[in-house]
Chains A and B, each alone.
Chain A
Amino acid sequence: EVQLVQSGAEVKKPGESLKISCKASGYNFNDINYWIGWVRQMPGKGLEWMGIVYPGDSDTRYSPSFQGQVTVSADKSISTAYLHWRSLKASDTAIYYCARGYGLATIDYCGQGTLVTVSS
């Protein structure tokens, strides 16, 4: 059974750094055909695509709105993808979801979400 299990909720102050995780199981995380995407959902708003990491070769791609704002990465040895901020802002307060993609066309499983609250 494919599962994406995300790390728990975080409360941070503006300017702090943060890395949240998404641990995959039930499939070959290292297979070059699979990738992990990250999605933001701000309070009461819709879904926004942030970026992708290909664990097989660590290639990353970002949506223009998120380029330079976050870093996506993956650790093949523990089948885990990450989303990292160097300096959080209050506007980063949101739920973040990871999602599994396959090839060019398919997104199938989502993690349960991680709530990030940034407040002074």
Chain B
Amino acid sequence: QTVVTQEPSLTVSPGGTVTLTCASSTGAVTYANYPNWFQQKPGQAPRALIYSTSNRHSWTPGRISGSLLGGKAALTLSGVQPEDEADYYCLLSYGVAHWVFGGGTKLTVL
């Protein structure tokens, strides 16, 4: 069973920068895992932020970016705002139609 691991929680100050990571139990995350990132606020549906490692959706703010970093997928939020407080999930592909979510990172803005 493939396991995708994220930091359970992170705290960042308003205006600061934070990087969330996403690791795979099968080894290094690569572009072929097509990392997607989602934001979920309490009581709301997930909202897609990033697809295929680093591509923003039309609604994704420019201060949110995706990358590969040290064998993991990474999501960086710059100039963090209070409304960025949410749960963030990565989703990795392990072949056609086979996706696995990470456990999620609870981001606190304090």
Whether A49 is near chain B, meaning CB under 8 Å from some CB there, is: yes
How many chain B residues sit at the interface, stated as a range, is: 20 to 34
Chain B residue at smallest Cβ distance from A107: B36
* A112-B45 contact in complex given A48-B101, A49-B91, C-beta closer than 8 Å: yes
Q: Is the CB of B48 within 8 A of A108?
A: yes
Q: Is the CB of A97 within 8 A of B46?
A: yes
A9 cross-chain contacts in B, Cβ below 8 A = none
Whether A105 is near chain B, meaning CB under 8 Å from some CB there, is: yes
Whether B28 is near chain A, meaning CB under 8 Å from some CB there, is: no
* A46-B48 contact in complex given A61-B96, A105-B34, C-beta closer than 8 Å: no
**Residues of chain B whose beta carbon lies under 8 Å from any beta carbon of chain A:** 1, 34, 36, 38, 40, 45-48, 51-52, 55, 57, 87, 89, 91, 93, 96-104
**Residues of chain A whose beta carbon lies under 8 Å from any beta carbon of chain B:** 35, 37, 39, 46-49, 52, 61, 63-65, 97, 99, 104-113
